[in-house]
Amino acid sequence: MAGKNAFKKISSSLEEDFCGGESGAGGKNGCGGGNCGASRACGASCGGCGGSQGHHPCSRLGKAIIKTLWGILLVYLIIYVGSLTRNNIKKFYYVGKMDRPQNTISISGEGKVTAEPNIATVEVGLVTDKKDVAAAQKENTEKMNVLIAGIKALGIADADLQTSQYQIYPKYDYTNGKTTLSGYTVSQSVTVKIRDLSKINAVLAKTGESGANQVSSLQFTIDDPASLQDNARNKALVQAEEKAQALARTLGVNLVRVVSFNEYAPQGGPVPMYSRGLEGMGGAADASAPSIQPGSNEVRVQVNVVYEIE
């Protein structure tokens, strides 16, 4: 009953909005009202306007519009309830079930780009043995300062020189089951970055002239390998796609999309190394240096691509 009464109230309200109230266009004083004959605008007979002698035309129009609006509202309500029901059924159906596995194939590819290196790094240093630790430190520091000054004189910037290690440790003699302290060893090394590869031989020669007795870890690198890695990655992806297409044709399937992708960029080919201890080979007197050839570096990128198939 409450819903029916509410429906009547809404209907009456909409009828008044569409047809007017007692004093409106369709009221007693307007066209089509209860006193239609009194209005000059409606003529002498109520039959022309639909007054008190017949059904109110605005009333019929209002009821028709109300029924239409209620019908539209009911349709939307049915669609909304149906959507909720369908979604809940789907959720219930998938509860406790695993996702449907995809049919996939995994393909690897590798791209390589070769380029000439433009940076060389080398570690040079000095090992000093003395009975007294202070004396060992003093001599080691003096010779290393001479070495660093000589390298700077070749045009190596301060930013390209970095101390890589500094150690002090005791030395012992083992005689007749006895351990005797015989002195101390001070070891110091500096890593040199050489941006002008034509200066490599001069840097190595300077180490001997300055009394250094340790040279190691000569490596050639590329200062900015990002663009080379991009090229190598593109080659790897092209190779992977070609392999995937060939495999799909063999299996009689189609490639749908890429499901996942990962890559690995290993270090390039063999890195030239140069290690030489000058001590015991004439020390500072043997200041000759080998002719170093930088060769070329290889930038590689390996990729693994997973394709969905159907």
Is pLDDT at 306 greater than 50 in this prediction? Answer: yes
CA nearest 270: which of 240, 303, 293?
Answer: 293
Q: How many CB atoms lie within 10 A of CB 109?
A: 21
Q: How confident is the model over 101-109, as a mean pLDDT?
A: 88
Q: Determine what percent of the chain is predicted with pLDDT higher than 70.
A: 69
Angle between helices 57-94 and 2-19 (to 10 degrees): 130
Q: For residue 67, what is the enclosing H or E element?
A: helix 57-94
- pLDDT-based confidence at residue 11 (cuts at 50, 70, 90): low
> Does 122 share its domain with 209?
yes
What integer pLDDT is reported at residue 295 of this predicted model?
86
Same domain, 76 and 197: no
Mean pLDDT of 26-35: 42
- Helix, strand, or coil (residue 197): helix
Using DSSP, state whether 232 is helix, strand or coil. Answer: helix
The pLDDT of residue 125 is above 90: yes
Question: Is there a single domain that holds both residue 162 and residue 297?
Answer: yes
Q: Do residues 210 and 295 share a domain?
A: yes
The answer to whether residues 139 and 130 touch, using CB atoms and an 8 Å cutoff, is yes
Does residue 256 lie within any of the structural domains? no
**pLDDT of 46 strictly over 60:** no
User: Which pLDDT score is estimated for 98?
Assistant: 55
142: its two tokens: 């003096």
Kindly compute the dihedral angle of the four CA atoms of residues 215, 218, 224, 230, in this order, to the nearest 10 degrees: -150
Q: Is residue 32 very low, low, confident or very high in pLDDT (cuts 50, 70, 90)?
A: very low
Domain count along the chain: 2
Q: Which residue shows structure tokens 């002498």? A: 44
**Model pTM?**
0.55
| Same domain, residue pair 156 and 282 | yes
Is 208 among the domain residues? yes
Q: Which range marks the domain in which residue 150 is found? A: 115-227+261-309
More confident residue, 270 or 123: 123
Predicted confidence at residue 288, as pLDDT, reads 60
CATH number of the CATH domain containing 172: 3.30.70.2970
Helix (H, G, I), strand (E, B) or coil at 23: coil
Name the pLDDT band for 76 (thresholds 50, 70, 90).
confident
Question: Does 89 lie in the same domain as 129?
Answer: no
The answer on 294 and 167 residing in a single domain is: yes
Q: What is the mean pLDDT of the chain?
A: 78
Same domain, 134 and 271: yes
- The predicted-structure confidence for 192-251, as pLDDT tens digits, reads as follows 999 999 999 999 999 888 888 899 989 999 988 889 999 999 999 999 999 999 999 999
Beta strands, E only, the chain: 104-115, 119-130, 161-175, 178-194, 214-221, 255-264, 297-309
Residues 88 and 153 in one domain: no
Rounded average pLDDT over 131-155: 94
Which residue's entry shows tokens 């002008």?
Answer: 196
- Clarify whether residues 121 and 48 are in a common domain: no
Mean pLDDT lowest for which of 38-42, 74-78, 92-96, 243-247? Answer: 38-42
Record the tokens describing residue 217, joined without a space. 């870890």
pLDDT of the residue at 73: 86
55 and 138: one domain? no
